[in-house]
Amino acid sequence: MKKIILAASLLFFGLTGLFAQEQEVLPEMIFEVTEFDFGTLKKGADCTVDFVFRNTGKADLVITNVKTSCGCTTPTYTQAPVAKKDQGTITVKYDSNRLGSFNKTITVTSNAKNSPIILTIKGQIEDVPAVDNTVKE
């Protein structure tokens, strides 16, 4: 019975050690900011932000998916692997032809040990006042 307990303990601690070593060589994605507030913008204004990140881990970072909470938000991102200590960018564009306030999330999935990461954009889109082009006499 003691041999079974000893064997099980060695197996458990051995596997735990292997898992811990694997965790140490994973990439880690650290963003400068994870939330951006556009404030109040006029309808049709540029509504684009760059989320810059750095790979602080010990292996190449690969983004596998970037999903937005709404079709009104379009992401583009670094496609190539990001080497350790290098940086990449996720650019997010919101359709500013939609009036009213917005609060959208962008879920970034990667091979990083802290994946997934949620980014947030928010703001308010106001209508552009109509211009009176009538000629006054």
pLDDT value for 7: 53
pLDDT value for 9: 53
pLDDT value for 14: 53
Q: What is the pTM of this model?
A: 0.76
DSSP string, 40-102: EEETT---EEEEEEEE-SSS-B-EEEEEESSTTEEEEE--S-B-TT-EEEEEEEE-TTS-EEE
pLDDT value for 133: 61
pLDDT value for 45: 92
Residue-wise pLDDT tens for the chain (137 aa)? 666 664 555 455 555 554 444 557 899 999 999 999 999 999 999 999 999 999 999 999 999 999 999 999 999 998 999 999 999 999 999 999 999 999 999 999 999 999 999 999 999 999 887 665 666 66
53 and 88 Cβ atoms separated by less than 8 Å: yes
DSSP 124: E
User: φ, ψ for residue 30 (rounded to 5)?
Assistant: -120, 120
User: φ, ψ for residue 22 (rounded to 5)?
Assistant: -65, -40
Report the distance separating Cα 25 and Cα 86, nearest Å: 16
User: φ, ψ for residue 2 (rounded to 5)?
Assistant: -65, -35
Walk me through the domains of the chain, giving residue ranges and CATH numbers: 2-126 (2.60.40.10)
From 48, 35, 34, select the one nearest 94 (Cα to Cα): 48
pLDDT value for 21: 47
